[in-house]
Amino acid sequence: MDKKLKIGLIGLGTVGQGVLKVLSKHDDIEVVAAAVKNINKKRDVSVKNLTSDAFELANDPDIDVIVEVAGGTSVFDVLKTAILNKKHVVTANKELLAKCGSELFDLARKNKVVILYEAAVAGGIPIIFPIKSSLKANEFTAVAGILNGTTNYILTKMDEDNISYEECLLKAQQLGYAETDPTGDVEGFDAMYKIAVLSNIVFNKRIDVNKIYREGITNITSLDMKLADEFGYKIKLIALAKLMQDFQGKSALDIRVHPMLVSKKRALSDVKNATNAVMLKGFPVDEVMFVGPGAGEFPTASSVVGDILAIKAEIHRGDDILPMSVCHHNEFANQIDVEHTVNCYYLRIIASNTPGTIGKIGLACGKYNINLSCILQKGVNDDGSATIIVITEECLEKDINLMIKSIEEDSKIKVLNRIRVM
């Protein structure tokens, strides 16, 4: 009979408790200790050894694997210590991997241990292992996804119930989908960390998370949702990374997170509520999409325990286990600035209802090489102003910025929202 796999668990919140509940069905795995912030807090599960010092786990010679589900970057030194002590690591910590992953992966390779992180990107959706195994034959050109359940829930409710962002956020908080401080979700930080981790493995390049353009959903209104729907789109917070050429003709990665109008003809547009989705495009597979629960106690625990079981199956077979999980690339990607990206755009403009206003907008577009797909005045508002909707064909981000600046020199014209179109 194989020796029991000994686990040290860092974090005993929702996900940590889910991991314990799932592991209770595995007699060959034992959680010998857990590190928590508050030892005296009442919990639905129990661990025979609780400590407030995570370094005790990292330095315990009886522990084989450190499982970290606490989140944040404060655990970096603990995981570094664990790796130096030849312990394997399973983590759900996308922020840590996005900011400090390069150093941890290098250290793990030198010490012949693995870091597994299936739960860090899309909760219960298996995506990391499929990319590294069954999809390994592909040369990918793009990865895009809905990677944050909180924002997707809010946008879904804004669309379906025709209510404001503020009302939907409050509802999400009441249901436990959003934190008391929702900044990490609604301002796009969570999705930014996840697309950084995904891009690393999809394109075999290290990613500088500080160079990723990020924009949240707080400026989206129920009116934008309604108008997008009329034009055949749904608005989603999209995390995107794609291969392109920079302005010098060199290969570059365009990586960003922001709201987008997604055509109803695309499967991503129909991903609702707290569900997540990841779309990959490459050769020879063309396009594939993974859809499922992106967060929560048991979906995330599913991925965490899956990683633990992968280590359990290999750990007694000698050094260099799970070789496909080892990070060998060390070159940083050439990441392009958002000003040099090419997009279609939706603009919602408020302007005085006077002759020649639409003509001014059209002339400004022509001046900056912007072709229009649609320009439409949506009636006259109670105050005498007009709402004008513009949808452009593909153009440079820097050109649309110049065009907006140009038309806003007229004090009677104001661009209230600009959303890129997928």
User: Tokens representing 319?
Assistant: 């050094």
Q: Which structure tokens are listed for 220?
A: 């989206």
41 is catalytic: no
Contact status, residue 283 vs residue 138, Cβ threshold 8 Å: yes
The candidate with the shortest Cα–Cα distance to 389, out of 230, 247, 240, 251, is 230
Cα gap 77→57, rounded to integer Å: 12
Q: Are 83 and 76 in contact (CB under 8 A)?
A: no
Q: Which of 316, 119, 98 has the alpha carbon at shortest distance from 214? A: 98
CA distances from 172 to 154, 160, 226 (A): 7, 14, 20
Q: Which of 87, 94, 99, 194 is catalytic?
A: 194
- Tell the burial category of 97 from Cβ atoms under 10 Å away from its Cβ (0-12, 13-18, 19+): buried
3-class secondary structure, 223: helix
Residues 271, 266: Cα–Cα separation, whole Å: 10
Number of Cβ within 10 Å of residue 232's Cβ equals 12
Tokens encoding 224: 């934008």
Which residue carries 């922001």 as its tokens? 258
Q: Which amino acid is present at 210?
A: N
Residue 194 and residue 237: Cα distance in Å, rounded?
Answer: 13
- Give the SS3 label for residue 191: helix
Q: Which of 184, 246, 189 is nearest to 214 (CA)?
A: 189
Distance of CA 140 to the CA centre of its chain: 18
Catalytic residues: 194
